[in-house]
Amino acid sequence: MPENGLMRQGKSWHKQNDLRALFKQYLEKGDAPEDIRWESLTTADGLPHNWIYDLYQASDGKIYVGTWGGGLAVLDGAQWRIYSKKDGLASNAVTCIQEGRDGRIWLATDNGINILAGGQISDGGLNGKSLLNLTFDRRGNLWAGCWRATHSGGGLYRFDGRGWQSFTTRDGLPGQEILKVFEDSKGRIWVGTYEHGMGAGVGWTDGSRWHNYNRSDGLADDCVYSMFEDPSGNMWFGTIKGISIFDGRNWHYLSSRDGLVDDRIYCMWIDSNKKMWFGTEKGVSRFDGTNWISYRKKDGLVEDLVRTILETREHDLWFGTYPYAQGRGGISIARFDSVKSLKDRVLDLLPDPDRYPRLDSGDQDETSSTK
């Protein structure tokens, strides 16, 4: 990307040099890893469905995979454990996964919330609500964003351990269909909206009132799929027309004209090597504050539409994708060093057949998102 192509100017947007200085605070310039190696996980490897909505690694090291249509898949070492409606899930569309302070796993689904604890699924509330996102705030409250307003009412919900409180546009919420809920370092709760694809911008509350922003304020687009706060305290919003960065006063903008592979931004992640990754409709882009590198299906991704990103404890990057055709999609894993392949690591974890009796599926314990 040319030096002068980092940022386009517009209403209330900072100069390019100011934005570069911002990036240097938490991103580290570097070339693409030469030894990146791609691996894939699909239904052929034990996934219940190739439509991946969320990826989450819990404190116990297990990796949780939310699928749209196949329920929940839990990877514990080499073993998959699958949970579906027959196990108590409210829906086989699992859209978001979060762990509470007590170690219980909370699951947002297309038909309410479930809790996974001790290998058992239980009811978590909001029955009948089509939920897309969950987050725990610093006080331990659980926030849930609901969409499909015509189907289940939409809105934002907060659970304080005793009951649920609802928030709607009557309370100042920017819109009724919530795609993303996020708590920043100041304890403010942010939401991104969908509104049948038209969007209603973003908003935040400190508990007293809502403060909302939309395109007229500098947001790239009013339909906001993703957001996060960078180490400098700036808020990033992934929209269907690029990325908006808000420093509290001014707006910055990144798009495909700057180096993104596509402008529909479904997820964002800063990895342990101080590089940023963006999941889009046409692949995943990597940014080091100056240079862009993008990867698509032709480069090793199992599918181009990347809905969720996870960096594991082993520093591998997992990308959950949507299928463009039946039988496609799944998870792509990017490895950056000469570690063993997934198949080799799985074999290392299995018992030595000469020393241990073989277990069948009945003897095993619990070892085992288009929007």
Task: State the 10-residue block means of pLDDT for the chain, 371 residues long.
Answer: 35 57 84 80 95 97 97 94 98 98 97 97 97 96 94 94 96 96 97 94 95 96 96 94 93 93 96 94 94 93 96 96 86 77 48 36 36 57
What was the pLDDT predicted at 3?
30
- pLDDT attached to residue 35: 78
Q: What's the confidence (pLDDT) of residue 152?
A: 87
Say what the pTM is: 0.85
- Note the pLDDT of residue 16: 62
Q: What pLDDT does residue 369 have?
A: 38
Token pair recorded at residue 106: 């909370």
For the chain, where are the alpha helices, taking DSSP H only?
Answer: 16-24, 149-152, 342-349
Instruction: Write down the pLDDT at residue 371.
Output: 57
Burial annotation 234-268 (CB, 10 A radius, 16+ → b, else e): bbbbbbbbbbbbbbeebbbbbbbebbbbbbbbbbb
Q: Taking the alpha carbons of 292, 297, 298, 300 in that order, is the dihedral positive or negative?
A: positive
Place of tokens 């038909």: 111
Is residue 301 within 8 Å of 38, Cβ to Cβ? yes
> What is the structure's pLDDT at 359?
34
Structure tokens at 324: 């463009």
- Residue 144 CB burial class (10 angstroms; 0-12, 13-18, ≥19): buried
pLDDT of residue 261: 97
The CA-based diameter of the chain, rounded to the nearest angstrom, is 70
> 234 with 217: CB under 8 angstroms?
no
CATH 3.40.50.300 fits 3-354, yes or no: no
